């Protein structure tokens, strides 16, 4: 029950802080810290959770995949490859609905 109350109170702080012009990243961090305090997690358990999250080989692979996708997205945008792909797709497929289905697969 204590964890549910912590989540409700923690999430209620996000819109309050955002309305007061606090950046969303800081609002989320403050909300997480409030949830930690209210739920009763100790510093030892927080350290264990952090280690399990950061040092797990499967999660490291997931982090690298996300970084790789981000880098590819930036490169595609920087060198206008996305625009070229869409133009070539327009020449091959005339139907807009089919184009919308193909674009994620091509990118």
Provide mean pLDDT across the span 44-58: 85
**Residue 107 belongs to some domain of the structure:** no
Alpha carbons 84 and 79: distance in angstroms, whole number: 9
Q: Is 73 helix (H, G, I), strand (E, B) or coil?
A: helix
Residue with tokens 């409700």: 8
Residue with tokens 């994620």: 104
Give the structural domain span for 38: 2-55
**Residue 93 belongs to some domain of the structure:** no
Is the confidence at residue 42, as pLDDT, over 90? no
Residue 43: predicted pLDDT: 76
Q: What is the pLDDT of residues 25-38, one digit of tens each?
A: 999 999 988 898 88
Structural domain count of the chain: 1
Q: What is the pLDDT of residues 75-100, one digit of tens each?
A: 988 898 888 888 888 899 888 888 88
């Amino acid at each position: 029950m204590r964890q549910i109350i912590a989540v409700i109170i923690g999430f209620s702080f996000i819109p309050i802080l955002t309305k007061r012009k606090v950046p969303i990243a800081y609002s989320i961090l403050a909300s997480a810290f409030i949830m930690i305090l209210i739920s009763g997690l100790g510093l030892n358990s927080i350290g264990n959770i952090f280690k399990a999250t950061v040092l797990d080989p499967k999660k490291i692979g997931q982090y690298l995949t996300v970084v790789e996708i981000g880098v590819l997205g930036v490169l595609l945008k920087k060198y206008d490859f996305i625009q070229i792909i869409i133009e070539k797709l327009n020449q091959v497929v005339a139907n807009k609905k089919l184009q919308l289905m193909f674009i994620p697969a091509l990118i």
